[in-house]
């Protein structure tokens, strides 16, 4: 398999990033990712990401918590069977509070687990294809191309109005 060359276009303008993303997606180059210093709806829309699965983790956590909260309250109440001020042992109305709190708590747990598993962090693999300017005032669009196409990809980025950063040098031997 031929090694790929990674090239990053550094943009100062959000709209140029969007047009670069659209251009890359239509081209034969491999579009990898965007580093952006600010959250941007325009870029998010252009990326057309798949819907995140995190919501399902939250929902499952919530359902588990709801059942768990009620189960906890009912189980502990039946251990003692104390009738307090004429209320039934299993008093559903006040147990809603425990159920509700547990729903929220376990939704949060589910959400955090979802985030940890779905964001694929930590990713050391892409650290070397990072430019510190992306934490400053630039948007970085990372793309890869086959060996020999570097100039055309650089050209592409420059036409879109970007500064270009090439990660692998031309004659460099492949590193593990």
Partner 1 sequence: MTNDNTKTMVIEKSKTSWVFLIFVAIGVVTFIFGLTSEHPERAWQAYLINFLLWSAIAQGAVLFSAVMHMTNARWSGPLSGLSESFTAFFPLSFILFLLLFIGRTHIFPWLQEDLHGKEVWLNIPFLFWRDFFGLLILYLLGFAYLFNALQLKYDPNQPMGEIRKYIYNAWKQNHLKPERIKSRMTVWGGLYILAFALVLSLIGFDLVMSMDPHWISTLFGAYHFVKSFFVGLGALIILAAIIRIKQGEASGIKTNHFHDIGKLFFGFCLLWADFFYVQLMVIYYGNIPEETHYVIVRTMLAPWNKLAWTVFIVCFIGPFFILLNQRIKTKPVLMLTICSVVIVGIWLEHLLLLGPALSHETQAIPLSLSDGLISLGFLGLMAIAVGYFLKVFPETIPVKESN
Which residues form the interface with partner 1 (CB under 8 A)? 59, 85-86, 93-94, 96-97
**Rounded to the nearest whole angstrom, what is the least distance from the CB of residue 91 to partner 1 in the complex?**
8
CA distance 121 to 123: 5
**DSSP run (H or E) holding 79:** helix 54-80
**Rounded to the nearest whole angstrom, what is the least distance from the CB of residue 175 to partner 1 in the complex?**
44
**Rounded to the nearest whole angstrom, what is the least distance from the CB of residue 97 to partner 1 in the complex?**
8
Cα angle value 46/138/32 (rounded, 5°): 45
Q: Which is nearer to partner 1, 81 or 85 (CB)?
A: 85
**Rounded to the nearest whole angstrom, what is the least distance from the CB of residue 145 to partner 1 in the complex?**
35
Q: Which is nearer to partner 1, 8 or 77 (CB)?
A: 77
DSSP 126-138: TGGG--GGGGTT-
Q: Which is nearer to partner 1, 103 or 149 (CB)?
A: 103
CA distance 70 to 67: 5
Q: Which is nearer to partner 1, 44 or 147 (CB)?
A: 44
Contacts of 129 (CB under 8 A, 6+ apart): 6, 8, 32, 142, 167
Q: How far is CA 84 from CA 72, 81, 89, 93, in A?
A: 18, 9, 8, 14
Q: Which is nearer to partner 1, 106 or 157 (CB)?
A: 106
CA atoms within a 13 Å half-sphere pointing along the CA-CB vector of 5: 21
**Rounded to the nearest whole angstrom, what is the least distance from the CB of residue 93 to partner 1 in the complex?**
5
Q: Are 141 and 156 in contact (CB under 8 A)?
A: no
């Amino acid at each position: 398999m031929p090694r790929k060359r990674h090239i990053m276009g550094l943009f100062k303008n959000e709209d140029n990033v969007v047009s670069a993303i659209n251009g890359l997606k239509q081209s034969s180059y491999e579009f990898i990712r965007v580093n952006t210093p600010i959250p941007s709806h325009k870029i998010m829309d252009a990326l057309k990401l798949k819907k995140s699965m995190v919501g399902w983790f939250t929902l499952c956590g919530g359902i588990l918590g709801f059942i768990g909260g009620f189960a906890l309250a009912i189980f502990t109440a039946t251990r003692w069977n104390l009738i307090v001020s004429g209320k039934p042992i299993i008093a559903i109305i006040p147990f809603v509070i425990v159920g509700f709190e547990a729903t929220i708590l376990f939704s949060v747990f589910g959400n955090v687990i979802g985030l940890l598993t779905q964001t694929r962090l930590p990713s050391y693999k892409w650290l070397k294809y990072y430019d510190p300017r992306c934490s400053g005032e630039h948007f970085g669009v990372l793309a890869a191309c086959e060996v020999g196409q570097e100039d055309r990809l650089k050209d592409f980025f420059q036409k879109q109005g970007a500064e270009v950063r090439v990660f692998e040098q031309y004659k460099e031997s492949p590193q593990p």
